[in-house]
Amino acid sequence: MTALSYQLYSSRLFPPLGDTLHMLADIGYAHVEGYGALVTDDDALAALDRGLQDTGLTMPSCHVGLDLCESDPENVRRIADRFGVETVVIPYIMPDDRPTDAAGWQAYGARLAAVQDRFAQSGLDTAYHNHDFEFMPLPDGTLPMDLILEHAGDVLFEYDVAWAVRAGADPMAPIGTYGARIAIAHLKDIAHPGQAGDEDGWADVGHGTMAWPALFSALKAAGTRHFVMEHDNPSDHRRFAQRAFDATQNF
């Protein structure tokens, strides 16, 4: 059985955090993945610390903004040491900050490589997490995702498969291209047409339109180490957490 993780951003609208962590442990999750707001606020840090200790859940990966990684890498290292984080994941580029040409995306990859070089000295890995825009071709036909990773040195890839599908990409193609560099995968699903309008068109893993059994098998065969359940806007996080966990047992 694959030990599953859960992106705590999925439960951001369902406090308190301690209750969420106990729910996840009771369902059978082994890990969680943190995100910026949980590790940049003292009260949230304390609640996360208590909840992990109480439940035995671990946090091998955590989303941290690139700005913080560049401006205060020592603080990021302290957070990683405190929670046993192995991989710091750069999660998102705000629209106004996104490059508009190939050279800009290459330069962004180089920034990630510089962060990885610093963190690697402490035994930390760095990964990049995609959304849809990285899979939207530039006028010359190149993909920002490819340009980032080609210039990011040893930076790993946290592959959010459903976002790639939202962009119109073949979800299998990056698995073939990047193989074991996809150290972490985000598992979410896309709702059937006309469904889940109140959940931004997302579905619980295994309850949407994506061919998740085949994708999951391909990711495992490629060497993906962590599978992180995520839903960007669930109306019921307990339903999502349970159904995603149960579905994945049958992949």
Mapped onto helix, strand or coil, the DSSP state of residue 21 is helix
CA distance 97 to 125: 24
Per-residue model confidence (pLDDT) at position 182? 98
Rounded to two decimals, what is the model's pTM?
A: 0.97
* pLDDT at residue 18 is higher than 80: yes
- Per-residue pLDDT band for 147 (boundaries 50, 70, 90) equals very high
Strand partners, 227: 4, 185
pLDDT digits (tens, 9 = 90+) for 63-84: 999 999 999 999 999 999 999 9
- Per-residue pLDDT band for 106 (boundaries 50, 70, 90) equals very high
Strand partners, 126: 88
CA distances, 41 to each of 7, 61, 70, 72, 154 (Å):
18, 18, 18, 15, 30
Domain ranges of the chain: 4-248
* pLDDT at residue 88 is higher than 80: yes
- Per-residue pLDDT band for 2 (boundaries 50, 70, 90) equals confident
Asked if residue 130 lies in contact with residue 160, where contact means CB atoms within 8 angstroms, the answer is yes
CA distances, 185 to each of 97, 140, 174, 240 (Å):
24, 28, 11, 17
Percent of the chain whose predicted confidence (pLDDT) is above 90: 99
* 4-248 under CATH 3.20.20.150, yes or no: yes
What is the maximum span of the chain, computed from C-alpha positions, in angstroms? 52
